[in-house]
């Protein structure tokens, strides 16, 4: 869109599910001309536009519809086999158009600072936008997380993160170690093992995941989200709501288990020039069936599927961190920063799911309306 104006009442940072939901409800509450939305991605779709091509709507956990207009209706078709990386951006783009939601992109927000009676967001091109309120909805995609393991810099093979994955074809004839216990780790391990010609796969993580053969109940889902909510209300760093809901034992996973693809190893303790090493950790030794001796595994690729963190570095000048290492959140849905209630974080903690992002967006619009003295219905 056109350049953002120099001032707005509500600055929405991001243009994914959470941001669009907030904007939709701001329009509903009569505040359609009192916000600006800035997103540094090139097109609609939030982080979905960057997902790997083999991730389909069916293999994504479930992409929840945006408020007011569902994906099937918007695209005029119902096809679970569509790649999420094209279907979701297509859907979000049509959604923005239908409801007249303006997203300025690509506009990068470098830093947000307090000013006398509000905020100043410094943009990538050196200009800035001031606002009374900040609704941050920047997701996690831009903050891939790799744990620190000694020796990582010495490794001569390739290291990559989920964030950088494109296709199994990249791993032809390679020995690939997949690290992680979440849904991405499992899906990509199986994909590489099954479809990369000549590849040999290995898998390890800190804890062996538990696969639920019973479908996850809504009560368990709510409890998992509530646990993350309690953490952020206490100022602790959020854990992933997607990871705490556990993994379902799908037919693909059951088959992979049967075929020996999901042979789990504990986390290695060191990285070497040619692979990874388990030092004489009793648990590792036992799992490897060779008590005592350090064990080495030569690999060509270490593929980190070790998750993401909140992409909120641009908020650092606001000094929101609590002593517990997280940001203490408050409000009905824990979207409000306790230390400065003019700032809301969406897609952070309990709302880091597509359905959570929707709800948080509505709540953010309601809170913004209240602060601006407008009644929200």
The minimum distance between CB 253 and ligand FAD, in angstroms, equals 16
Our finding on whether 202 is near ligand FAD (CB under 6 A) is: no
Return the closest-CA partner of residue 367 out of 355, 358, 376.
376
- Encode burial over 208-237: b for 16+ CB neighbours within 10 A, e otherwise: ebeeeeeeeeeeebeebbeebbebbbebbe
Nearer to ligand FAD, 241 or 262 (CB): 241
The minimum distance between CB 242 and ligand FAD, in angstroms, equals 5
Kindly tell me which residue out of 22, 26, 38, 253 binds ligand FAD, with binding defined by CB under 6 A: 38
The minimum distance between CB 305 and ligand FAD, in angstroms, equals 9
Within 10 angstroms of residue 26's Cβ, the number of other Cβ atoms is 30
Nearer to ligand FAD, 157 or 246 (CB): 246
Q: Please name every residue paired with 343 in a beta bridge, in sequence order, or none if there are none.
A: 134
With 0-12 / 13-18 / 19 or more C-beta atoms within 10 angstroms meaning exposed / middle / buried, residue 300 is middle
Write the binding mask 335 to 364 for ligand FAD: x where contact by CB under 6 A, - elsewhere.
Answer: ------------x----xxx--x-------
Q: Choose the binding region for ligand FAD from 61-69, 153-161, 248-256, 288-296 (rule: CB under 6 A).
A: 61-69
The minimum distance between CB 290 and ligand FAD, in angstroms, equals 35
Return the closest-CA partner of residue 239 out of 227, 252, 250, 223.
227
Kindly tell me which residue out of 3, 5, 6, 61 binds ligand FAD, with binding defined by CB under 6 A: 61
Which residues within the stretch 65-124 sit at the binding site for ligand FAD (CB under 6 A)?
108-109
Q: Please name every residue paired with 205 in a beta bridge, in sequence order, or none if there are none.
A: 266
Our finding on whether 245 is near ligand FAD (CB under 6 A) is: no
d(CA 23, CA 360): 11
d(CA 341, CA 335): 9
234: Cβ–Cβ under 8 A, 6 or more apart, which residues?
324, 326, 328
d(CA 320, CA 340): 8
* CA dihedral for 83, 84, 86, 88, sign (positive or negative): positive
Contacts with ligand FAD by CB under 6 A: the residue count is 37
Our finding on whether 320 is near ligand FAD (CB under 6 A) is: no
Q: Are strands 103-104 and 35-38 parallel, antiparallel or unpaired?
A: parallel
The minimum distance between CB 321 and ligand FAD, in angstroms, equals 17
Nearer to ligand FAD, 140 or 155 (CB): 140
Our finding on whether 17 is near ligand FAD (CB under 6 A) is: yes
Our finding on whether 141 is near ligand FAD (CB under 6 A) is: yes
Kindly tell me which residue out of 9, 11, 16, 225 binds ligand FAD, with binding defined by CB under 6 A: 16
Our finding on whether 62 is near ligand FAD (CB under 6 A) is: yes
Return the closest-CA partner of residue 12 out of 86, 140, 112.
112
The minimum distance between CB 176 and ligand FAD, in angstroms, equals 18
Give the binding site for ligand FAD (CB under 6 A). 13-19, 38-41, 46-47, 51, 60-64, 108-109, 137-142, 184, 242, 308, 311, 314, 347, 352-354, 357
């Amino acid at each position: 869109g056109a350049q953002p104006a120099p001032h707005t009442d509500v600055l929405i940072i991001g243009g994914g599910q959470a941001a669009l939901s907030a904007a939709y409800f701001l329009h509903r509450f009569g505040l359609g001309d009192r916000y600006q939305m800035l997103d540094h991605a090139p097109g609609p779709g939030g982080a979905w536009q960057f997902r790997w091509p083999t991730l389909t709507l069916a293999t994504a956990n479930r992409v929840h519809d945006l408020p007011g207009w569902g994906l099937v209706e918007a695209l005029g078709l119902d096809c679970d086999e569509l790649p999420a990386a094209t279907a979701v951006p297509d859907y979000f783009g049509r959604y923005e158009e239908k409801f007249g939601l303006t997203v300025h992109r690509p506009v990068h927000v470098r830093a947000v600072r307090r000013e006398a009676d509000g905020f100043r967001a410094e943009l990538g091109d050196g200009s800035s936008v001031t606002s009374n309120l900040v609704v941050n909805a920047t997701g996690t995609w831009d903050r891939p997380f790799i744990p620190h393991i000694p020796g990582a810099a010495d490794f001569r093979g390739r290291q990559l993160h989920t964030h950088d994955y494109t296709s199994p074809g990249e791993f032809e004839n390679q020995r690939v170690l997949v690290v992680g216990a979440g849904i991405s780790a499992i899906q990509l391990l199986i994909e590489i093992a099954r479809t990369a010609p000549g590849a040999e796969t290995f898998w390890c993580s800190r804890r062996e995941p538990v696969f639920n053969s019973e479908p996850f109940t809504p009560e368990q889902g709510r409890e998992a989200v509530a646990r993350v909510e309690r953490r952020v209300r206490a100022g602790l760093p959020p854990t992933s709501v997607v990871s705490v809901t556990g993994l379902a034992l799908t037919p693909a996973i059951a088959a992979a288990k049967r075929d020996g693809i999901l042979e789990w190893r504990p986390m290695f303790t060191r990285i070497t020039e040619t692979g990874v090493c388990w030092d004489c950790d009793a648990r590792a030794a036992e799992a490897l069936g060779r008590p005592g001796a350090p064990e080495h595994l030569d690999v060509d690729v270490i593929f980190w599927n070790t998750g993401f963190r909140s992409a909120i570095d641009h908020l650092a000048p606001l000094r929101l961190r609590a002593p517990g290492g997280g940001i203490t959140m408050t409000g009905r849905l824990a979207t409000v920063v306790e230390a400065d209630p003019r700032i809301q974080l969406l897609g952070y903690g309990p709302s880091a799911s597509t359905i959570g992002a929707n709800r948080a967006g509505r709540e953010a619009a309601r809170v913004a309306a209240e602060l601006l003295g407008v009644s929200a219905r």
